[in-house]
């Protein structure tokens, strides 16, 4: 574990840069992580996915997969790849302050 300066706060992250404690997350931290991931600006559509993922995490204890996001009609798969290029489930989970989704390499 290490710490990282995000949005003016020193935040503990794991070896892959995911927040250790999802409860320290806020939109300013999300914006900072998104910029690091090459997503700028963070739009309302991004936030819709991120907030859904956080809600699912609170209810189920794990970040939803791409399949689940698509199945629940949150965002079509093609749009997820446009919003979060290069690994939408991992990038969205990271920006949402969650751990790496199960099944992601």
**Burial bucket for residue 98 (CB in 10 Å: 0-12, 13-18, 19+):** buried
Determine which one of 76, 88, 104, 105 is catalytic: 104
74 versus 96: which is more confidently predicted? 96
Burial 58-95 (b: 16+ CB within 10 A, else e): eeeeebbbbebbbeeebbeeeebeebbeebbbbbbbbb
For the residues 43-72, what does the mean pLDDT come to? 90
Asked if pLDDT for residue 105 goes beyond 60, the answer is no
More confident residue, 67 or 57: 57
pLDDT at res. 53: 94
Distance separating alpha carbons of residues 3 and 73, to the nearest angstrom: 35
- Indicate the domain borders of the chain: 2-95
Q: Going by C-beta distance under 8 Å and a sequence separation of 6 or more, which residues neighbour residue 79?
A: 45
Q: Is 4 an active-site residue? A: no
């Amino acid at each position: 574990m290490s710490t990282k300066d995000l949005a003016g706060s020193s935040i503990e992250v794991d070896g892959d840069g995911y927040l250790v404690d999802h409860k320290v997350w806020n939109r300013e931290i999300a914006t900072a992580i998104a910029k690091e991931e090459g997503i700028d600006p963070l739009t309302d559509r991004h936030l819709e996915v991120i907030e859904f993922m956080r809600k699912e995490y609170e209810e189920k204890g794990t970040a939803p997969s791409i399949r689940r996001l698509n199945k629940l009609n949150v965002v079509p798969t093609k749009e997820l790849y446009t919003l979060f290029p290069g690994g939408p489930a991992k990038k969205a989970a990271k920006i949402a302050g969650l751990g790496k989704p199960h099944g992601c390499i």
